[in-house]
Structure 1
Amino acid sequence: MTKRPAALLRGCGRLLLGMEWDPVLARAAVVHLISGASFSTFWSYAGVWAIEALGATTGQVGVMFLLSAVLSPPAAWLGGFVSDVVGRRSVLVMSTGIQSLLILGLCLVGHSAAWGIALVVVAGVVWAPGRSAVNAIVADVTPPERHDQAYAALRTANNLGVVVGPPLAALLLFLGDWTAFVLGIALLGALTCGLAVRLLPRDRVRGHRGGTAAQTARVVLTDRSLLLLLVATLLGFMVYMSFETVLPVVAVTSFGFAPETWGLLYAVNPVVVLLFQMPLTRVTRSWPASVTLSLGVLLMGPPFLIFLVSHHMAAVVLVVLVFAFGEMLWVPTMQATVARLAPPHLHGAYLGGYTGSQLLAWMVAPLTGLRLEEALGERAIWVFFTALSAVSVVAGLAAVRRRHRTARGEGDGHRIDDRGSHRLAARTADRADVQPSVHPAPSPEKSS
């Protein structure tokens, strides 16, 4: 690559990532951007497609989403384990490639609701390991003190894809029909797969050798700090998913907003994240992780209490804006905290647990929230999710405190601060009777 294109590429990377240039992180962000524009758009339209193209009933669509949500969390965790052994790129390529083929297969199902729904469910399950692999790549290629910025950069890229995706889907439907839509999504998925092959390295961390899957699972499942963090992640993402899945229903059915009005209000969220994620992360990078996690989730849950006194549009806009800043604080910090806790050779397993908790929340939040509305009324929803945010804070603080105690006990006097190193990989590997792989230090980065 000549100097001028290389400099241009680095400049685009800095603009996108909001941090100093890291070639692998920039390439992972590009892959994540394209996948966000394709697969997230597909899932936004999957229910409508099933009803209009296949003639499926709303009940069948509900079963489709339920099955995908039930099967995806274990697939995400398994994918993380596998990526520790065979490499991140292999899992990501297989995941995106197979999902693209399954989506392409939707063109062949005709009007068979059963076959179409089955393919959609399997497509959702096979993408889950790819999400775990992407999260693990970030942990592999950035030093622990830069994890927050790196995960924030990945979110920025994904939100850019989310902003671009729906207009692209609308264009495909305008130019053609549902077949054109499915073909377009499948082609974008194939592009994601091709870019992963072309841009991502085979491995930054080679899989550990000598340990069985059961031994590795025992290490993960007996790490109480991780389990507490996963509880905090599950509850925090239930609050997050209440904004994504419950609030739209309540806004239309109880607040009296037209669907298109809510669509415009919701569109504020990804735009705010796209504009402010990286600046906010730079401002808060010196904050202790416990403070950032606690403040973030408390900016997501308690603002819902405003709906106990007002359903006015101004109240909804205020909640949307405050929630956006809460998620910008909480999501990348939680990812970074899990990544720091993981030994380098188990990044995939630990972050697979994080991804699995996120996907489980996608199922549990709407089931519990909408059931509460049916049984106790709309006001009970906001009290419930506010309480969940408080419990998430307690679980997160307990995990951080326990990590400190463990690190002091195992580190033989080494100082571990709130945003510091993960547990000693060697001792964790000994517990599983496996040896950690060599983790080459990333190249030095200048301050951004």
Structure 2
Amino acid sequence: MQIRLWNTNLKVRLFGEALFNMLVWMYFPFIAVYFGNALGNDIAGMLMTVPPLFSMAGSLIGGALADRIGRRPVMLTGAALQTLMFAVFALSSSHWLDYAAFIAIGFGGAIYRPASTAMVADLVPAQDRRQVFATFTTANNIGAVLGPALGAVFFFHYRQELLWTCSFILLLYFIAIYLIVKESMPPGEGSAGRSATVGEIWREQWKGYGVIFRDKVFLVYILAGIFALVAIMQLDLYLAVYVTNYVPAQALFSWEEGKLMLSSTEILGWLLGLNGLLFVLFILPVTKWLRHWKERDVFIMSSLLSGLGTFALGFSTNLWFLFIVTIVFTFGEIVRSPVMQSFISHYAPEHARGQYMGADNLQYTIGRFLAPVTVFLSAWIPPMGIFSLILLSALISVVLYVHLFRIYPASSKQ
């Protein structure tokens, strides 16, 4: 489905989210370093465990409201909260106020995302969703490639100006949503027109989530995703520890007059850059190549590539071997991303699409909470032991995905 044929809502969102995502990646990778320098690494480490909990709550709230009052109002609320909190961050002279603003920015983004994803499902035919989701992922990953390189300069030397720019861009995006984006919730769904007390609203929404969490198929899907993501998320967790501690400095290229040497930290930077570049270059063609594959097969291939690729890291510290293995586990992540969103978009019933999108984010939150256990265990377990645990997690996800598509075979039919 070519971009020129997209609904105007989607075109506005693609441009706005891509631009803002680049700005986010100019500050997000360095936020832990910032709070570590300001408050101490031990305190910063504990503080960084709190934002995912707020993100989880924001996703559930945003998903519930998206089904009740519509996608557009929830997106406006999330964008407005982020706009305001970036301004607070820019004006703040207190590290604790900075931290509160940082949490609120994440909370606003979590409110926004389920409604945003539900809007894609509302407007795009099922057969085109993978490609559309892949296009959004490509746009976001362009920011993930460029943002950290720019942020290394701007965040530490021009932080206030960067935060004001984020606030201003988000304000423009808020205005664009308000003026251009139209509501996409299917007719007859929601209950914005019916009066109800706040208590009744919350009881109704949590009752809806109760139904979702008793959905066996959905729970197996979430559990399989958690184990898969524990393996996929190691790129900036145990992989960073392993490369900096065990991979020696070595030459990238050699020639007669000399050689280009890379330190351990520079090797890590090259691996991260390769990961981001592969995403930008290949997510669209790979998604097109796999468009006729069953979702079951894509999920299983993703878990195997990410698990086996990460496990293979322990066999050699040669730089070019690490590049090859990085390509393997990166493709495991690439094939998974658009299929996850398309699966839940057609599995969720229309009247609860926002709630399912919000609950779907739990696998990221729980996965991000569990994934750092590899770093913790690395103090006692050697690298091959840690890589074996990562592979085991991926294999468990494979078993769960096989079970998932046995109890819900209809989802494998495109």
Fold match by TM threshold 0.5: yes
Alignment counterpart, residue 290 of structure 1, candidates 291, 296, 315: 296
1:309 aligns with 2:315: yes
Stretch moving more, 345-354 or 253-262? 253-262
Deviations 1:91-121 (A, max 9, x none): 22211221222122123331x3322222222
TM-score, scaled to structure 1 = 0.81
User: Are 2:413 and 1:419 equivalent residues in the alignment?
Assistant: yes
Structure 2 CA distance for aligned equivalents of residues 168 and 185 of structure 1:
14
Aligned pairs for 1:2-401 (under 5 A) are 13=3, 21-52=6-37, 55-110=38-93, 112-170=94-152, 172-173=154-155, 177-205=158-186, 207-209=189-191, 212-256=204-248, 257-366=263-372, 368-401=373-406
CA contact (8 A) 1:300 1:327 kept: yes
Q: Structure 2: which 5+ residue stretches go unaligned?
A: 195-200, 249-262
1:340 shift after superposition: 1.4
> Cα deviations across residues 26-85 of structure 1 (Å, max 9, x unaligned)?
333223212311223321121233345xx2211222122111123322321221111111
Show structure 1 runs of 5+ residues with no match.
1-9, 15-19, 405-415, 421-448
Report the Cα distance in structure 2 between the residues aligned to 1:51 and 1:182, rounded to whole angstroms: 19
Indicate how the Cα distance of structure 1 residues 417 and 59 shifts in structure 2: closer, same or farther if over 3 A, else same: closer
Aligned equivalents of 1:217 and 1:265: distance in 2?
A: 40
Q: Deviations over 1:202-234 (max 9, x none)?
A: 233354338922432232112111111111111
Q: Which amino acid in structure 2 is aligned with residue 34 of structure 1?
A: L
| Aligned 8 A contact 1:234 1:357 in 2 | yes
State the one-letter code of the partner of 1:250: Y
Distance in 2 (CA, whole Å) between partners of 1:262 and 1:308 is 15
* Structure 2 CA distance for aligned equivalents of residues 374 and 225 of structure 1: 37
The 1-side partners of 2:411 and 2:77 are apart by 38
Partner residue in 2 for 1:438: none
Using the aligned pairs only, state the percent identity.
22
1-structure distance, mates of 2:288, 2:313: 32
How does the TM-score come out when normalised to structure 2? 0.87
Indicate if the aligned counterparts of 1:95 and 1:126 stay in contact, CA closer than 8 A.
Answer: yes
Query: Shift in Å at residue 293 of structure 1?
Result: 0.9
- Structure 1 192/47 Cα, relative in aligned 2: closer, same or farther at 3 Å? farther
Instruction: Report the Cα offset of residue 124 of structure 1.
Output: 1.7
| Counterpart residue type for residue 185 of structure 1 | C
